[in-house]
Amino acid sequence: MKAESLAAVGRLPLPHDNVAIATRYLAADTVIIDGERRFVLSHDVLVGHRFATQPIAAHTPLRSWGLPFGLAIDDIAAGTYVCNQAMIDALRGRDLRGLTVAGDLTIALPDRPNFIDHIEPFHLDAGTFEGAAAFAPLRDDRTFLGYRREAGRGVGTRNHLVVLATTSRANAVVRRIVERLARRAPPQATFDGAVAIEHTEGGGHGRPNNLDLVLRTLAGFMVHPNVGAVLALDDGVGYVTNEALRRLMVERGYPHQAVPCAFLTLTGAFEDDVAQGERVAARWLDTLRAARRTPEPVAHLTLALQCGGSDAFSGISGNPLAAWVAREIIRRGGAANLAETDELIGAEAYLLQRVRDVPTAERFLAAVARFEERAGWHGASAAGNPTGGNLLRGLYNIALKSIGAALKRHPDVRLDHVIGYGERHTLPGFAFMDSPGNDLESIAGQVASGCNLITFVTGNGSITNFPFVPTIKIVTTSERYELLADEMDVDAGAYLSGTPLDDLGARTFDLVLDVASGARSAGERTGHAQVQLWRDWPQRDASALARLAAEPAPAGASIPLVPLTGASRLRLPEPCPAAAGGVALILPTSLCAGQVALAIARRLEARGLGRGQGVRRFLALVHTEGCGVSSGASEELYVRTLLGYLVHPLVRHALLLEHGCEKTHNDFLRGRLVAAGIDPGRVGWASIQRDGGVARAGEHVERWFERAIAAAAEPALRSVGVGDLRVAIAGSAPPPPAAARGLAAITRAIVEASGTVVVAANAGVLAI
């Protein structure tokens, strides 16, 4: 049996913790030496996973960072691989090759859990509470080169022309305008280029529950110091409109008059709308290109603290490093912003160790309680937050994830402010912003609040970037840094290898000032960015929960046709040749893989790959799910939808592209394909994180499609008739009577010919 010292193979976050984090793969029966003590590992232990370093009695807490994250089911001996049911279930469905020393060893997992999840309830005692003192200001001559804006807008770290979709219905026009502006005015030394802000909100007829959040986030984008000019486009329909946006900015004192801006409403003529938008935006190009950076004190930096694709080392290396940098900015009069409410549940005791006063602590606790209540309205819980990537890399539950995430607050720094999602905030100090745990949604709120720089800590290797605020990526381990070097900026794994945190922090602080002064971050060099606002939630309270939970699943029975009176039958066409070929589909398994999938599809479409070989076009179906998809009925609906896309008759070739840390990752979907009786070999598989980043994943995807197209037989053509149609009827508004009668006649003709018509349950036609 091989012997190893605990210090060489494990990490105790705090000396009195009773479980350690394995810093590399450890084989079963390894002897661990801890001073005078010796104990033997019960199982193979994956890197980032935990094993007991002391005996833990049944029903007593397991602790990391001194905080409880679980209760022992039975007595746990030192050396035992500690695991809950969620981790066992997650690992059983994963391809674990590459996670052992040899890379292909079979890992013997525990067959049952030895602890249950546990969060210690936090109680604020206002009577004995004492507020923490603020930092004494540090005055030095450190500066960065930024764009000073008027009317209290702050100092920009970038100078962008932003074309903003006020509503999701303007996305396509916004995208095309920016494509034209990019050809007309590419980025240069003093102008960082035009960027499109697309999102999924607005576009409906009913009042959304997130209306105020959406409008104030868009308002924050418009007055952001990194925005040199902004063009906002809407369709004038519903509640999310330019008029509503302007009204909110006036009522709440946003300095929008200090920003060169314009508001346009779409006419419905796509090319005309694009041409008009380009003409309006082009008027600002000379002014934007004439802007100059000036030396500015660090006090004008507001840092967004983010993490995503977290692992067990996020709380050891990456988050403490980001906290170190935030401390240095705050000491110099600047600000930092922590977010992701549900990813702090269980870490309240740490976060509130240093806080300004009782009202600030109470506002934070109220935000947590409100988030838990909203999740409960939908039959969900924040306990379901950890993703497949979290579980694979050692974050067994929300308590462990939260404890590590909270370490983005440096122990010396106090919590000064608690603000709402997207709420504009200009005060110095450390602020908490209420937001969901989804990285992209959270970042959008932080940017809207005024953050002009982002540090993003990742264990798995998240590639998230924001279009007009630079993101500095801090990866927790050197192994992941080397795999994803093109996407990452800082190797926090150097701390695990012995580099003092102060030395690594000083180098990272220098990098922060360089990027703030115009140096390109890795994400900017890659050219990948995307935006997602805090999405609407359907329930306003818990009143409908029992009814929704009790609704039976659709039985799949047909709706009987109502007899027609006085209507003539449609004349059915004769059989005709089917269209040759189908689509080649890149299907992202999550929100964070969406824009990468879209870029690859556009590149393959431009190449003309597969033309004349059965491929009519390349597509990517971008969506908002996967990263934080909830369990139960909503997850089943989402997965069923993805599987339907993969086997759709118009899809000739399909490939699943995972980000790599999502809940519905490739291994998860491979298992669901098998369960549905679908051969996983009929689709392709690629991973942004495992393949080594955006560029390498793109090459992997292109090679797979080249092979699949070359190996495919010529498409077999046959004549088809109306009976081969599968027609969908959708639309939220009831159609005019004449249109309804026409739809009814078409439906009858198709169904009587043995075809199928599918009507959405919320289609307006059903209201007639």
Residue 732 pLDDT greater than 90, yes or no: no
Q: What does the pLDDT average to over 106-129? A: 89
pLDDT tens-place string over residues 384-426: 788 888 888 899 999 999 999 999 999 999 999 999 999 999 9
CB 30 within 8 A of CB 41: yes
Angle at 570 between CA 565 and CA 573, to 5 degrees: 165
C-alpha to C-alpha distance for 727 and 729, rounded to whole angstroms: 7
> Per-residue pLDDT tens for 218-245?
999 999 999 999 999 999 999 999 999 9
Q: What is the pLDDT of residues 250-301, one digit of tens each?
A: 999 999 999 999 999 999 899 999 999 999 999 999 999 999 999 999 999 9
Is pLDDT above 90 for 574?
Answer: no
| C-alpha pair distances (Å), 729 with each of 694, 737, 766 | 37, 16, 10
Give the lowest-confidence range in 126-130, 302-306, 457-461.
126-130
SS3 191: strand
Q: How confident is the model at residue 577 (pLDDT cuts 50, 70, 90)?
A: low
3-state SS of 12-39 is: CCCCCCCEEEECCCECCCCEEEECCEEE
What proportion of the chain, given as a percentage, has pLDDT over 70? 96
Indicate whether 95 pLDDT > 90: no
Q: What is the pLDDT of residues 674-707, one digit of tens each?
A: 999 999 999 999 999 999 999 999 999 999 999 9
pLDDT by residue (tens digit) across 11-30?
999 999 999 999 999 999 99
User: Pairing relation of β-strands 684-687 and 160-165?
Assistant: unpaired
Integer CA distances (angstroms), 115 to 87, 171, 497, in order: 11, 48, 31
Name which of 341, 338, 347, 362 is nearest 129 in CA terms. Answer: 362
Q: What is the reported pLDDT for 579?
A: 55
CB atoms within 10 A of CB 116: 14
pLDDT, one tens digit per residue, over 519-572 is 999 999 999 899 999 999 999 999 999 998 888 888 888 888 877 665 556 666
Of 128-132, 262-266, 735-739, which has the strongest mean pLDDT? Answer: 262-266
What is the amino acid identity at position 358? Answer: V
The pLDDT mean for the chain works out to 92
For the entire predicted model, the pTM comes to 0.94
Query: Where does the pLDDT of residue 99 fall: very low under 50, low under 70, confident under 90, or very high at 90 and above?
Result: low
pLDDT recorded at residue 761: 84
Distance, in Å, from the CA atom of 33 to the CA atom of 11, rounded to the nearest integer, reads: 13
